[in-house]
Amino acid sequence: MRKIIFVTGNSHKVKEAGDILSPLGITVEQNNCGYPELQEDELEKIASFGAEWAADKLGTEVMVDDSGLFIRALGGFPGPYSAYVFDTLGNDRILKLMKGDTDRSAVFRCAIGYCVPGEKARVFTGEVMGEISLEGRGNAGFGYDPIFSVGGRTFGEMAEEEKNRLSHRYRALLKFADWLK
């Protein structure tokens, strides 16, 4: 099995990545060393920079994940600032911001940055279209999962296996795994 270091403080992301990549012969090990996060509007630039920085710091191949929830009615907010906004406002305040909005469409995007020390990073992206529910539903997953709905059900209402077959991270990780082969 090939081992890749996943640089993130989010153990939920590591579990998802491990569940998705292990059938392909790849084990994922977490390292929480962190990396300086660019203040950019594009996930790809953030993931690329983070992967290059972490690979050089750790001296091994690494992957990073920068994901964001882009809500149309809020002009793409919170976008690349999703983690900060979730930690600061949470789902209830996002729902309050959207009170009365009829356009509830949103897209979850993921950029997986992969890098070997001394090389340029490669970035693999995935996205899933959905909508913001009227209320939080379900206890599964993490972050925005209880308010992000696909096909009438939130990620928070789905079993891990079902979410992992639909998610933005799954789509990005599949592209990454295909490239690794």
List the CATH number of the domain containing 143. 3.90.950.10
44 has a pLDDT exceeding 90: yes
Average pLDDT, the chain: 94
Tell me what the mean pLDDT of segment 20-41 comes to: 88
Number of domains in the chain: 1
SS3 118: coil
- pLDDT at residue 99, rounded to an integer: 95
Confidence class for position 58, pLDDT limits 50, 70, 90: very high
Name, in order, each residue with C-beta under 8 angstroms of 69's C-beta and a sequence gap of 6 or more. Answer: 78, 79, 82, 106, 107, 108, 144, 148
68 has a pLDDT exceeding 90: yes
Confidence class for position 37, pLDDT limits 50, 70, 90: confident
SS3 66: strand
For residue 92, indicate whether it is catalytic. no
CB 7 within 8 A of CB 57: no
CB atoms inside a 10 Å sphere around CB 121:
22
123 has a pLDDT exceeding 90: yes
| The residue to which tokens 């309050």 are assigned | 96
Percent of the chain with pLDDT over 70: 100
36 has a pLDDT exceeding 90: no
Catalytic residue among 19, 41, 66, 145: 66
Domain of 131?
Answer: 2-180
